[in-house]
Amino acid sequence: MIEGYDIICFSNDWDGDPLSKKHIMKRLARRNRILWVNSIGNRNPTISKSDATRVFRKLKAFLMGPLQVSSGIHVISPIAIPFHGNAAARRINQWLLVATLRAAIRKLGFRKRVTWTFLPTSANVAGYLGENLVIYHCTDEFSEFSGTSKSAILDMEQQLIAKANCVFVSAERLMRNKAQHNHNTFLIRHGVDVEHFRKACDASTPIPEDIERIPSPIIGFFGLIADWVDLKLIADLARARPHWSFVLVGKVATDLSPIAGIPNIHILGQRSYEDLPGYCRRFDAAILPFVINELTLNANPLKLREYLAAGLSVVSTPIPEVKELGSLVRIGSTCADFIGHLECVLSPANSGTRLAVSLEMNRESWDERVEEMSRAIAGLEMSISGPGEG
């Protein structure tokens, strides 16, 4: 693993779910220092109570300055104007962010600085913080998210890719798109916290009460329930097999009317990361029912490897990155496809959590992925310094 770096990481909010970014930075923090920059946003705000609450919370956090949240990791919540389609707003953001972050890194005594950003919206700041390296880590086709200014996001991303010393991508399709603009682009797929999800294979792992009483067989899904989840497909499955239970665990960020009132669909809401193995232990099979569009075609769903690390059989819609896992995942395009596959995996030999499936994920751990990135960075540093400048 790389060590001795002071990493400025632009990402989601630290207090959110442990997405790929947090898994990576927590491991890097063992030998490096991290300043985690809470989200400066990709989408434009709406006139809603939730967005107003979020703005107030960010203002409060901004006034507190950088806070240590764990060994080697400080978190800062900068202020940014979220109208990325407006050139004046972007200039103001650049000034605000650069000033805020320069003050923070001086306070923390950052020296060997690296900007490691997961957000195109950091383009106006990356490279202005006295960095040795700029790394863009692309995990999605950000311009395809609902509520974004597509042209502005694409423009910012192009700027960021052009100034980055290297680009990491998590999917083959992203590799094809981004490598055209930066020859130091590396495909490093998502990892998984194998030990955590393998708890689902342990009979001593407690099953949460809210799922324990739901009748079997249980077809499970966990993760953000957003507009990329095919709720119509789930509704069709539930109506076709009324004696199966369909359990959705996760924060709801979309209209649930397609599945409203269907008695064998159970929406449990967001649950803690720590409890997910217990929910998986109760699943008989897991599904990844994503709508097929430009966003999901470029995605590498984190939950896929988490399902498998939990030892579950998985049925998914035909996303390219899902196909990379071969026979570990069954692929279906229609309700009939899903029903056929699910009937197979609900057999006694394939149902529930199986240690043999979980063991297949040993080579997919986050530790392995961080080592891959470290090797790429070490090679990049050598090419920058030259063989005689060691």
91 and 164 inside one domain = yes
> Dihedral of the CA atoms 160, 166, 170, 176 (nearest 10)?
80
217 and 346 inside one domain = yes
223 and 146 inside one domain = no
pLDDT above 80 (res 179): yes
**Residues of 309-335 as b/e, b for ≥16 C-beta within 10 angstroms?**
bbbbbbbbbebebbeebeebbbbbeeb
239 and 185 inside one domain = no
Neighbour count for residue 373 (Cβ, 10 Å): 21
The pLDDT tens digits of the residues spanning 347-386 come to 988 899 999 999 999 999 999 999 999 999 999 876 665 4
95 and 181 inside one domain = yes
200 and 336 inside one domain = yes
The number of distinct structural domains making up the chain is 2
Does residue 1 form part of some domain? no
Confidence tier at 117 by pLDDT (50, 70, 90):
very high
Task: CATH number of the domain at 169, please.
Answer: 3.40.50.2000
Among 40-54, 121-135, 226-240, 266-280, the range scoring the smallest mean pLDDT is: 40-54
Mean local confidence (pLDDT), 278-305 = 97
SS3 29: coil
SS3 42: coil
162 and 199 inside one domain = no
Task: Identify the pLDDT of residue 66.
Answer: 83
Among 51-60, 164-173, 316-325, the range scoring the smallest mean pLDDT is: 51-60
Does residue 265 form part of some domain? yes
186 and 76 inside one domain = yes
Distance CA 306, CA 198 (A): 9
Q: Which of 47-51, 62-66, 129-133 has maximum average pLDDT?
A: 129-133
Q: What is the span of the domain harbouring residue 41?
A: 6-191+365-385
pLDDT above 50 (res 5): yes
Neighbour count for residue 173 (Cβ, 10 Å): 17
Does residue 269 form part of some domain? yes
Does residue 337 form part of some domain? yes
170 and 311 inside one domain = no
Mean local confidence (pLDDT), 229-236 = 98
**What value does the mean pLDDT of the chain take?**
91
372 and 329 inside one domain = no
274 and 325 inside one domain = yes
323 and 372 inside one domain = no
Does residue 249 form part of some domain? yes
Distance CA 57, CA 50 (A): 11
